Structure 1
Amino acid sequence: MLSKQEIKELEILALKIRIETIREIGTLGFGHLGGAMSIVETLAVLYGKVMNVDPKNPRWEDRDWLVCSKGHAGPAVYAALAIKGYFPMEELKTLNKPGTRLPSHCDRNLTVGIDMTTGSLGQGASTAAGIALGNRLSGRDSKTYLILGDGEIQEGQVWEMASFAAHRKLDNLIAFVDNNKKQLDGYTKDINDPRDIRAKFESFGWYAQDADGKCVASIYEAIERARNTKGKPSVIVLDTIKGQGCSFAENLLFNHHIEISESQMKEAIEELEKKLEKVVSL
């Protein structure tokens, strides 16, 4: 269980990631803000407390791996990486611009700290399982963390991976489903109702949990239970909000990929900076 100080530190990190994500997408003027916002707390817990990584040696063979299969949420991952020191913060301003190392979707060949190229939905699930199996066969005591979208799990490839990972007893694989209830063109329940996501994974032989994806303590505790589970892969279904923590984005019905004005960016950042000052002062 996290101490009050540890919770505070992770909440501060989440606010910083959220601010920088809004700034990089806002500087560009458009982007996948909704789904980037909803995984911020999870990224804060992973990079702030859980993952065994070294920003000075990003290709360290014994590191934990992160595969953000919903690769369009890359800007939030980039913000976390920059804050942790993988590359200069100034580079965030180059998001998706000519010559950038920070493309719209995650690319391991371009961005320091990105473990797997993603964006073609569903494919990151298979590569994450392959990484987990490969590391186990190599005798490495590392974990692979996989982030999936709730719209993404409509892809059949995700469930082929789920069957494979359970059969191979990949207990070094921990997946998250960002259940923000929306996909590109509307609510998931109206387009292809996912029903009980936790029960689906359980039926495939996974250890499955629900967690509050807005609460760093809830996420951390779920990860700890998953890390202590042997003989099967784990999934954590995150209850989140698309656009989470960014007021103007939360209030939009269609907030998958949106245009952001300079005034919207400034107002959102000012609001979050006030929250940050309040948390820091507690």
Structure 2
Amino acid sequence: MPAAAERARPVTGHGLGTTVGILHPGSMGAAVGAQLRARGICVLWLPEGRSRTTVERAEAAGLEAVDGLPLLLERADVLLSLCPPAAAEDVARQVAAQGFPGKTYVEANAVAPARIRRIRELLPDATVVDGAVIGSPPLGGKQPRLYLAGRSSALDLLGDLFAPTDVRVHPLGEELGKASTLKLAYSSYQKTSRVLAAVAFGLAQTNGVGDELLDVARLRPGSYLPETGYIPKSAARAWRWGPELEEAAALLHEAGLPDELMRASAAVLTRWDTARGSEPSIEEALSLLMDDH
């Protein structure tokens, strides 16, 4: 590891002297950035090529727009990569092309450990941290967990940054891959369960026994089946859930475990591609799952 990566950036006032860059702030990234802004930390982002919705979200969070990636990388001490899993390596390549020496790069997307290792190879002069956010965006008192694995000095820095916020940091040691494995293990259950619940309710509803299915499901505490209100939310998020489950499938295959269920769930999610950026009704979401949609 080059000497530049060994140097931790100085932290003053529990992280107040640190500048953070976020690539690219969706609902989670903007909310995380807002938590840092609330304690006076400068948070940068790139508006170029982003949708009006993203711009409005970033402005509402108090993020500072920067003109171009080179300037953002020059100013930022810590970079948080929060993007769809399929774009994670491309984002890292863009950063590597400009250089990010001696600074901290947090790969916080739902990607497999093998992808984390490739990203570390792309950024040999930076300190790459394996990160995983589990939970809803930190809004309205919600407190997602940020699991981190990597160099201890970088974990200390990130712990200081988020200590007084609703983002709860949980260090997992120095071995890269632990945080991403935890995220995908959780996603393989949680997101696939949501898919199964939607398909099961669709089957019952189509055959006129939807209410009866919900009645039975309510006898089993903890089941996702009665939560039909989550079906539209699942549809709206399917565009990024699908690639996440493909990452989980790759990890299962690597571990010698069956990956067919994850790949099938990812295939089901592609039927909801047109729901991106909206939240359809339950009936509309179910109709998109039908063969003749």
TM-score, length of structure 2 as denominator length: 0.31
TM-score normalised by the chain length of structure 1:
0.32
> Which structure has the larger Rg over C-alpha atoms?
2
Larger relative contact order (CA 8 Å, sep ≥ 6) = 1
